[in-house]
Amino acid sequence: MKMRNRKILQSMEGQRPIRSRKGPSQDGPSRKARKGSANRRKAKKGKASNGKGSSKSLFPPDEISTGISQAIYRDLSLPLQEHGSLEPGLAYAIRCQRDELLKKYEPQDLDMNALEVAALQKWKAVNHYMARINRGLVESLPWMSPRINQHSTYMDKIHLRARAIARQCLGSLDEDEWFLKCKTSGGATVGVPFADTSPEAKFTYPMTTTVRVKRLFERYLEWNFQLHSAIEQFNRDRGTHCNPKYRIVQGTRATTVSKDARKRRTVIPEASCDAYMQQGLMGVMYDRLRAAGLDVETLPNTHKFLAQMASITGALATIDWSSASDSVSYELVRWLLPHDWFWALDICRSPNIQVLGEWTKAEIFSSMGNAGTFPLETLVFWAYAHAVILTEDTDSYTMFPEPNQLERRDVSVFGDDCIVPSEYAQVYMTVLEGVGFSVNSEKSYWGTERFRESCGGDYLMGYPTRPFSLKAPHSTSLGSLEPWLYVLFNSLIPKYIQYFGELKYAYGKDLWEYLGKVLDRYNIKIRFVPDDFPEDAGLQARFARDFDRLARCYGWKSSPLYRNQHGTYRFTMLKFQYKEKVWNSGAIRANQWYLRRTTGTQKSPEVWHRVLPTSFGRPEVPWRKRRKVGGYVVARAHTDRWSVSGWMPGAADRRH
């Protein structure tokens, strides 16, 4: 207050003019000039913070990744040469890490067009093969035999039992249960690119749909009238209410996504309304599979545990399939599923697919991009696994195994990752090859071989051998280098501890020396973050104890941590952020939230329509980010605990 009065007195005496807060002063610079000066100061500050070069400077990721690969090769070649008595699992893990670091790295000069054409041509070949499989299944499956009898062949028994198990698992499809599970997904659809896959973008007129799903979606909007009114209000506010409500599409167009440096994976996004209804079917199928003992949320960890045990005992086989999602034939699904389930899944799929500029009839039932593909292939592989085991173990005419047999721990399926007892593996693979699937011999293991692989876990005689694969950074701008290195640190430090031990891994290693040169070259100081933060946010605190050794040996530098009198640490982290903002619709998002809250009940919207008003006005978070233009920014954070005890590197106490 005294300072303000002094300024007023000085201005009254003519020593200093008063600058109005509304507009420029007569004696001072204009508002535009002040804004330009602020931008120049901000750019200068950003240039100084980046060390060498401006914020738009680039770095060579191919050169750095090659240097990292060569350093790792030199480090990991020494234990293989000097110690011939290494355990087989450890030696295999070191060899895999040495040779497969850049397996998923896509260099800048990679010909994406050639890989995309190869992937789409492969899909066309598989689809053509599925047409032949469909014709064969029409003739070979026992369509006229409802049960097993004395005339049933061995293969007929397996097919009939698989159908009975699949139908027992799914049961009947209830419309209310289906509609309650419907939701939008985070994936792209026809007419909605990946840059903005929000519910608002998918419900903007015109909404893409196929002819058959249009009437079904209108029936859904009659059931969920609150969503209908929210969509209409959103389009009126946006000015798109004059557009046609729907855009009828003939089918969808096949595209590809990255898989590794050698191949791409075919993905077929569905129309927006079709994908919305498919999400409901997927949710109901997950509930039915969970009731049968297949919980998709816990199955990956279960598969890793079973694979690790099988690599020791050899009692279980881990089987993987080539292009499994593109090998579920139309006639096989028609054979296995109940009529109401088949009708619902069939009406929501795209019958025609555009591949390389040509429209093709989809001989496969569904592919990646269809929400029902993953639970459907899980059901198919699981039903046939139990059918094969039951047929091998009994000569009776029974159709169903005992209830406890369906919950046996030695049979588990997660997508196309199958685990069955080794004694049934050969018959199981032969049966499924007869209905159109192809075994991936490079990733399938059974019998006396002591290597197993399932759901991202590789094990040799119980020893984990899955290597770390370095991927290309988000971009070549200098701001993407530091988070890229953090992913490398947080992944390779535990690997080096596994290979060399907790004491030796930090000394005399070419990798840490090379990375120290990269950090020094770009003036990067290591940031520490808690262990539950993302890998690209900073170096996780569990490695902070060993940072002193790495810093003394290789000259690494760290950013300080500040702790106040309450024991709270203040630190900085890296965060990926999209720059473009788009307006949210509170009514649409609230409707989706209430559907999730009522999931699992048979309530229709009439039960809770009084709680959910028609118009919510402006939501609490009115903006969302579009995934089009983005980059890493430095964010401030604080925490009152770290996962390690004792003094933190670079920590400074500030008592207030």
Judged by average pLDDT, the poorest of 78-82, 223-227, 288-292 is 78-82
Same domain, 393 and 435: yes
Query: Is pLDDT of 37 > 60?
Result: no
* DSSP H/E element including 571: strand 569-578
How far are the Cα atoms of 206, 291, 441 from residue 449, in angstroms, in the given order?
Answer: 56, 33, 13
Same domain, 429 and 523: no
Cβ–Cβ under 8 Å, residues 587 and 616: yes
Cβ–Cβ under 8 Å, residues 527 and 539: yes
Strand partners, 258: 264
Domain assignment present for residue 207? The answer is: no
First-to-final CA distance of the chain: 24
Same domain, 492 and 546: yes
Grade residue 631 by pLDDT with cuts at 50, 70 and 90: confident
Grade residue 639 by pLDDT with cuts at 50, 70 and 90: confident
Residue that terminates a domain, selected from 457, 487, 516: 457
- For residue 51, what pLDDT is reported? 40
- For residue 403, what pLDDT is reported? 72
Grade residue 46 by pLDDT with cuts at 50, 70 and 90: very low
Grade residue 88 by pLDDT with cuts at 50, 70 and 90: confident
Same domain, 640 and 523: yes
* DSSP-based three-state secondary structure for 363: coil
| Residue range 175-191: mean pLDDT, rounded | 91
Domain assignment present for residue 347? The answer is: yes
Q: How far apart are CA 266 and CA 368, in angstroms?
A: 7
Domain assignment present for residue 252? The answer is: no
Query: Is pLDDT of 61 > 60?
Result: yes
Phi, psi of 503 (to 5 degrees): -100, -40
Query: Is pLDDT of 606 > 70?
Result: no
Domain assignment present for residue 201? The answer is: no
The first and second tokens of residue 404, run together, are 């406890």
* DSSP-based three-state secondary structure for 337: coil
Distance from chain centroid for Cα 317: 26
pLDDT tens for 112-126 read 899 999 999 999 999
Domain assignment present for residue 556? The answer is: yes
- Helix ranges, 206-298 (H): 211-223, 225-238, 272-291
Domain assignment present for residue 521? The answer is: yes
Same domain, 357 and 444: yes
Rg of the chain's alpha carbons, rounded to an integer? Answer: 30
- For residue 241, what pLDDT is reported? 85
Same domain, 308 and 425: yes
How far are the Cα atoms of 76, 118, 133, 445, 468 from residue 95, in angstroms, in the given order?
Answer: 8, 30, 41, 20, 12
Same domain, 125 and 72: no
Same domain, 406 and 338: yes
Same domain, 441 and 301: yes
- The whole domain housing 78 covers 63-103+468-579+631-653
How far are the Cα atoms of 479, 480, 507, 552, 553 from residue 517, in angstroms, in the given order?
Answer: 18, 17, 16, 14, 12
Q: What percent of the chain has pLDDT over 70?
A: 84
Total domains, the chain = 2
* DSSP H/E element including 62: helix 61-82
Query: Is pLDDT of 333 > 50?
Result: yes
Domain assignment present for residue 129? The answer is: yes
pLDDT tens for 474-523 read 889 999 999 999 999 999 999 999 999 888 898 899 999 999 999 999 99
Same domain, 311 and 433: yes
- For residue 26, what pLDDT is reported? 39
- Contact residues for 110 (Cβ-Cβ < 8 A; gap 6+): 261
Q: Of 310, 507, 284, 300, which Cα lies nearest the Cα of 410?
A: 310
Residue that terminates a domain, selected from 457, 488, 510: 457
Grade residue 599 by pLDDT with cuts at 50, 70 and 90: low
Domain assignment present for residue 372? The answer is: yes
Grade residue 628 by pLDDT with cuts at 50, 70 and 90: low
Estimate the share of the chain in helix, then strand, then coil, as percent rounded to the nearest 5.
45, 15, 40
Same domain, 546 and 637: yes
Same domain, 79 and 128: no
Residue that terminates a domain, selected from 431, 457, 483: 457
